[in-house]
Amino acid sequence: MSKIGIIAIDGPAASGKSTLGKKLADALGYLFFDTGVMYRAITWLALDRGLDLADEAAITRLAEQADIDLRPPSQADGRSSDILADGEDITWDIRAPEVDANVSRVSAYPGVRRALGVQQRRIGLRGKVVMVGRDVGTVVLPEAQLKIYLDASVEERASRRYQELTDRGEPADYGEILSAMQRRDFIDSNRAVAPLRPAEDAILLNSDALDAEEVLAEVIHMVKDPDGTV
Ligand code: DC
């Protein structure tokens, strides 16, 4: 039985964190928790309600009061869980380009981070969890026994996102995806609170030349006890 009960995976957009996190959690029988989903759900709710995204107090109140829930997948359409906001299934709505374009702004608000971070930490401390995000190893769960920082070039990440969208039959423009991703990387890495960066004790992995199975194999190797068990 592995002594690693809390695993943090951080890194920029589309670096393969969620794919790795889901596969790793399945292999270990752990809970998979993608924290980005919570920031996306708040952004979607704010847009849906027509709130002014510049109104930090209103967006913070929304994050403090919204009922966001993650449940086991109810449909086999590629989702790893159902995402519900006030009871409504918003699993795919939160992947819309309008959410992509605004989520970094919403997630830079300290009050939003505080409200969501408290919930993330409470769930993470129960253990047997693979938590994925930007600041899991640095802020949410600094006590994680294994911290991975998964990176890839912005061009590679943009082309993965392009592929994901076209696979789902959605319209996609590579140039637009690339510049939106560069913009998001910049905001995520330069915000005052909990910017995207590797924890000092994180293991850095670059997935440019590795496919999902190869990344998983490397991480499973790290999780194994010296006697070879996981
Ligand atoms: O991983 P993602 O692309 O779904 O994340 C969406 C946004 O949420 C990302 O641009 C930054 C923010 N985020 C964050 O600030 N902290 C986290 N732990 C996870 C995501």
> pLDDT digits over 137-196, tens only?
999 999 999 999 999 999 999 999 999 889 988 889 999 999 999 998 998 899 888 889
Q: How far, in Å, from the CA of 196 to the mean position of ligand 1?
A: 9
Beta-bridge partner residues of 148: 9, 203
Distance CA 21, CA 15 (A): 11
- Provide the residue ranges of all domains of the chain, joining segments of one domain with +: 6-217
pLDDT of residue 228: 56
Range 6-217 has CATH code 1.10.1060.10: no
* Residue of the CA atom closest to atom 6 of ligand 1: 36
- 225 versus 157: which is more confidently predicted? 157
Quote the pTM value: 0.90
* Residue of the CA atom closest to atom 18 of ligand 1: 133
Cβ–ligand 1 contact at 103 (below 6 Å): yes
Work out the mean pLDDT of the chain and round it to a whole number.
Answer: 92
Atom of ligand 1 nearest to the CA of 108: 15
Cβ–ligand 1 contact at 36 (below 6 Å): yes
Distance CA 188, CA 80 (A): 24
Q: How far, in Å, from the CA of 225 to the mean position of ligand 1?
A: 31
Cβ–ligand 1 contact at 10 (below 6 Å): no
Q: How far, in Å, from the CA of 102 to the mean position of ligand 1?
A: 11
Q: How far is CA 46 from the centre of its chain?
A: 19
Q: How far, in Å, from the CA of 80 to the mean position of ligand 1?
A: 17
Name the pLDDT band for 226 (thresholds 50, 70, 90).
Answer: low
